Amino acid sequence: MRAEKQGIANKGTLIDHHCIKWGILIFRIICFTDFNYVKHRWENHPMNAQGRVNQEYPVLTHLNFRSVMGREIDVHVFGYGEPTTMVIGGIHGNEPCGIDLAGGLIKEFKTHSAPYLESRVVVIPKANPDGFIAGTRVNARGVDINRNFPTKDFHRGTFTQNCNPGKLAASEPETNVILQMAAIFRPQFILSFHAELGCVNYDGPGVQIAQAIAAENGLPVRKDLGYATPGSLGTYFGVERNIPVITLELLSQDEQWTRHGKAILKAIRMSQSE
């Protein structure tokens, strides 16, 4: 009887030991997984320069930038160090040639990136993915992203339905991706692709870069598009913040990279050597 009791007691101690051992093991696994998760997040964070150096071509999808309909908005970051050039395609969803051209630039950097690694190029190839899927200029809430920037003249003037600025400035997630990336990387030159006017438009101190682009792609330089653009990216960054902004108005019949690739690379190099 006594021996039996002893056996039960020993069994109890054994079970306790097992519990403790397994508990410690599970605790260690959780700590290890969590540590690696946090480490991964930090190494990929845009504020962490080391992370960018380690990763040759990071795509910042982990920042979870989403459109109104929840589609991912990718941000590609090439190189590191200052100055930064920001390139944006497809703010207007029904202008897919800008998305093609931004895709051409990404491909170029992935195959011949060496000359640009001394400084940084941030590419947002498809800034309005919902508009792209729907084939509309505006986003899924019917707002024109290129009229939704928080400019001093936001919402002034009359707007057609196609150029609806939204009720509030920077109300749209697509606008905020660009604003946040600009706040983090502080670009010194911004290049935005549109269609179908076939010209090189500039805001802010961008005339020399515009002329250099025009010399390569043969499109005319135009300071003014002939209509006011309150709430536009060009007004916000170019006119109000004195950053050279080029709005490259493409023609959809062109093979985009063939016509504009050289011009874009030249403009990026020019802005980085200034």
In the numeric block, which tokens belong to residue 172?
A: 């749209």
Q: How far is the CB of 137 from Zn ion (least distance, A)?
A: 7
Query: Which region, judged by CB under 5 A, interacts with Zn ion, from 20-28, 84-92, 162-170, 212-220?
Result: 84-92
Q: Which amino acid is at 79?
A: G
In the numeric block, which tokens belong to residue 108?
A: 């170029």
Q: Which is nearer to Zn ion, 92 or 120 (CB)?
A: 92
Query: Which region, judged by CB under 5 A, interacts with Zn ion, from 66-74, 80-88, 92-100, 205-213?
Result: 92-100
Q: Which is nearer to Zn ion, 77 or 105 (CB)?
A: 105
Q: What is the 3-state secondary structure (H, E, C) of 12-72?
A: HHHHHHHHHHHHHHHHHHHHHHHHHHHHHHHHHCCCCHHHHHHCCCCEHHHHCCECCCCCE
Kindly state whether residue 147 participates in binding Zn ion, applying the rule CB under 5 A: no
Q: Which is nearer to Zn ion, 12 or 220 (CB)?
A: 220
Site for Zn ion (CB under 5 A): how many residues? 3
- CA distance linking residue 204 with residue 271, whole number of Å: 13
CB closest to Zn ion, residue no? 194
- CA distance linking residue 47 with residue 42, whole number of Å: 9
In the numeric block, which tokens belong to residue 47?
A: 């504020």
Query: Which region, judged by CB under 5 A, interacts with Zn ion, from 34-42, 45-53, 194-202, 260-268?
Result: 194-202
The DSSP output letter for 235 is I
Interface residue with Zn ion among 52, 92, 120, 260 (CB under 5 A) is 92
Q: How far is the CB of 92 from Zn ion (least distance, A)?
A: 4
Q: Which is nearer to Zn ion, 79 or 98 (CB)?
A: 98
Helix or strand or coil: residue 173? helix
Q: Which amino acid is at 256?
A: Q
Q: Which is nearer to Zn ion, 76 or 194 (CB)?
A: 194
Q: Which amino acid is at 218?
A: G
Query: Which region, judged by CB under 5 A, interacts with Zn ion, from 3-11, 95-103, 105-113, 159-167?
Result: 95-103
Q: Which amino acid is at 3?
A: A
Q: How far is the CB of 216 from Zn ion (least distance, A)?
A: 21
Interface residue with Zn ion among 126, 194, 259, 260 (CB under 5 A) is 194
Q: Which residue spans within the chain are E strands per DSSP? A: 76-78, 84-88, 120-124, 189-195, 199-203, 221-222, 245-250
Query: Which region, judged by CB under 5 A, interacts with Zn ion, from 58-66, 86-94, 161-169, 251-259?
Result: 86-94
Which residues lie near Zn ion (CB under 5 A)? Answer: 92, 95, 194
